[in-house]
Amino acid sequence: MDDFLNTKIFNVTVERLLLNGGQTLYMVGCSLLAGTVIGTLLALVLVFCRKGGLAENRVIYAIVSAFINVVRSVPFAILLVTIMPFTRAIVGTTIGSTAALVPLIVYISPYLARLIENSLLEISPGILEAAKAMGATSFQIIRYFLIPETLGSIVLGLTTGTVGLLGASAMAGYVGGGGVGDLALTYGYERMNTPLMILTVIILVVLVQLLQLAGNAISKKLREHK
């Protein structure tokens, strides 16, 4: 009887791990994709509109920079609760993995914007000036000069952002966002299941290590083939 119960509990745990692990991948993947697009656009605005940029506009730069700084200064746990009305207006609910995407995207976009901005600023201004002098459009400068020359550094920035996003997605479990964080809270902490909590921590640590190793490897390849 004990063996039967243990097997049943083990099966339930495995099912929950697979379900919540899938939710975490869903939240991180979708929010990373959307955050990368938004963050890249914000970074390009900062690079082009900054003092001495190819499309210098201090007003736009100040507004975008201030917005990024304000959002980045708010801890994710507070941001999660603060924008609940906005989340409800977008997806119709504040509970579930899909609802968690809204605060995750709002959280990660400015963070990635700063990381990508720093990467884009690594390129020599002389290269951009030469491209502009040859008649290259802003899109051509981005497509053929900015992105290719800094892609290795951008990948490292995205890797750092992904690790931060993974931690934020775990916190989404506190408001019913699902994922590994919800598993640790609902089935680990509230039920005093210490082994399960330790297991979720190990899973997160392994994921972070794999992400960092993959990011470093891809960045190295891109730098070697520049």
Distances 27 to 74, 102, 148, 213 between C-alpha atoms, Å: 20, 10, 28, 21
The CATH number of domain 11-224 is 1.10.3720.10: yes
Contacts of 40 (CB under 8 A, 6+ apart): 112, 113, 116
Confidence of residue 96 (pLDDT cuts 50, 70, 90): confident
Stretch 97-121: mean pLDDT: 91
Higher per-residue confidence, 105 vs 192: 105
Q: Could you read off the pLDDT of 155-206 as tens digits, one per residue?
A: 999 999 998 888 888 777 666 667 777 666 666 655 666 776 777 778 888 8
CA 86/CA 74 separation, integer angstroms: 16
More confident residue, 131 or 87: 87
Q: State the Cα–Cα distance between residues 177 and 17, nearest whole angstrom.
A: 15
pLDDT (0 to 100) of residue 122:
83
Q: What is the C-alpha separation between 12 and 18, in angstroms, rounded?
A: 10
Look at 202 and 112; give whichever has higher pLDDT: 112
Average confidence (pLDDT) over 140-145: 82
- Please identify which residue in the block is written with the tokens 């603060």: 82
